Amino acid sequence: MPSSSPCYMPLSVWLQRLLALCLISFSGYSSAGIAEFNAAAQTGDYVAAARETASAWESYDKSRDSAVTIAREFAFVNYLAGDFEAAASFTAHLADEGVLAGRDDQPLTSQVLADLIALRLESTLESRSALAQSLQARLPEEEVDNISLLAARALYSDDWGHGRLAEIEASSALAIAFFERAGASGLVEKRRAELMAVAAEFVRWRNVRSYDQFVDLHNAIVADVDSIEDEISRETLIALKWIAHAWTNSAFTYLDSVNPQTGSHIERVRRRELENSSKGFFYAAYTDESLPVCENRLAWNVRYPTSAGFNGLIGTVLIKMNFDSDGRVKNHELLASVPVDSFGASVIDTISRARLRPSRGQDTDNCTLAVNDYIVTINFVIY
């Protein structure tokens, strides 16, 4: 089953910003390592910050009111640094038997963090269920915190990565609820969770409803791109738009191919229009030369990847290419790959074989093959 997220990207820039801002500045504290921790945390260097937490905690006065907050933040920064065992050692202070448990002012958030770390240490149905329960317990509180946001995303991503398609409906709904509370800053992650939910439903049931949901979500993301003012968030939404585009194409191609089959129980799918940016934020093919672009076709012997978990589905890879006047690829950018990221890498491995060729009868003296921002859609049946 799935081994990587269908809409996975590294931790969003907006979340990185929030994490950097939320880490407490322990100014005025004399414990060893605090100054170094502050310096590293403020620059977002979580690995360096995590290295300072052990010595800072050892010398810190645990009787101070701030000890609970420091234990939680030290656990969080170790989690961000990928040292889950060290992170667990700090959340242990906040557990029922921990020395700080009775003073914890945010016990629900601490539990979410502890369960998130446990999931990273060992992803099992038990650890997955524990995190889902702690997030559900945290949900009624009006405030939103970055630990819960990160945990909500981790939960549905873990479900996808382990093929728990039936559970993604609930885990993505939790994420959507949390990110809605983050307001405009949570829009990107809300859309990502919505896309994950539709992808899981489509892989599971392969129905026309999912195709319509993909189209609606794609068009909503395009509207977000045109309306959002923050440039960094816009760029992240643009990247997500291409992933939604790929899923939409994959779903339609699959459903359209099975409809003509004798005895197919799949209802007829009707192609719907995908909205484009009214402000020109997406790519459009163009040439730098004075000659018009030749009518062309792309010749490419692509090696298609296989996957038992997605057997029978249609994989879609979107690539932006720039071609020289001879039709050779100058450079390229992978825009999207579904149902998993690794399919795109397999296709890219063969890109040197791609060649843009003029259509039969074209006089290349009067046109050019030098095209930029040429979007190529590759569909393949997964075996």
At 65, which CATH number?
1.25.40
Predicted pLDDT at 343: 94
CA distances from 25 to 15, 67, 69, 281 (A): 18, 13, 11, 39
Note whether 18 and 92 are same-domain residues: yes
Q: Does residue 289 fall inside a structural domain?
A: no
Note whether 220 and 170 are same-domain residues: no
**Degrees to nearest 5, angle at CA 331 with 328 and 332:** 110
The answer, yes or no, to whether residue 6 has pLDDT greater than 80, is no
Predicted pLDDT at 104: 95
Q: Does residue 137 fall inside a structural domain?
A: yes
Note whether 186 and 323 are same-domain residues: no
Note whether 229 and 184 are same-domain residues: no
Candidate from 233-237, 239-243, 263-267 with smallest mean pLDDT:
263-267
- CATH code (residue 311): 3.30.2420.10
Look at residues 201, 219, 234 and tell me which one is the last residue of a structural domain.
201
What is the Cα–Cα distance from 79 to 109, expressed in whole angstroms?
Answer: 14
Nearest to 323 by CA among 346, 303, 294: 294
Predicted pLDDT at 33: 77
Note whether 43 and 187 are same-domain residues: yes
Over the stretch 125-155, which tens digit does the pLDDT of each residue have?
999 999 999 999 999 998 899 999 999 999 9
Note whether 186 and 215 are same-domain residues: no
Name beta bridge partners: 331: 322
Predicted pLDDT at 142: 86
Residue 360: burial class (beta carbons within 10 Å; 0-12, 13-18, 19+): exposed
Note whether 42 and 134 are same-domain residues: yes
Note whether 215 and 193 are same-domain residues: no
Predicted pLDDT at 145: 92
Q: Count Cβ atoms below 10 Å from residue 77 Cβ, excluding itself.
A: 27
Contact 288, 308 (CB under 8 A): no
- Say how many residues make up the chain: 383
Q: Does residue 288 fall inside a structural domain?
A: no
In which band, very low, low, confident or very high, does the pLDDT at 119 lie, cut at 50, 70 and 90?
very high
In the block, which residue shows the tokens 């000659």?
A: 291
What's the domain count of the chain? 3
Look at residues 256, 282, 308 and tell me which one is the last residue of a structural domain.
282
Note whether 69 and 108 are same-domain residues: yes
CA distances from 345 to 11, 91, 224 (A): 20, 38, 29
Contact 360, 301 (CB under 8 A): no
Predicted pLDDT at 364: 87
Phi, psi of 289 (to 5 degrees): -90, 160
Note whether 275 and 323 are same-domain residues: no
CA distances from 171 to 6, 16, 21, 53, 328 (A): 15, 22, 27, 32, 45
Say how many Å lie between the first and final Cα of the chain, rounded: 13
Over the stretch 338-377, which tens digit does the pLDDT of each residue have?
999 999 999 999 999 999 999 998 888 999 999 999 999 9
Contact 320, 375 (CB under 8 A): yes
The answer, yes or no, to whether residue 17 has pLDDT greater than 60, is no
Phi, psi of 45 (to 5 degrees): -90, 85
* 333: containing domain: 296-381
What is the Cα–Cα distance from 32 to 309, expressed in whole angstroms?
Answer: 51
Over the stretch 178-206, which tens digit does the pLDDT of each residue have?
999 999 989 999 999 999 999 999 999 99
Note whether 354 and 278 are same-domain residues: no
Q: Does residue 8 fall inside a structural domain?
A: no
CA distances from 324 to 321, 368, 374 (A): 10, 9, 12
- List of residues 6+ apart from 366 with CB closer than 8 A: 291, 292
Q: Does residue 7 fall inside a structural domain?
A: no
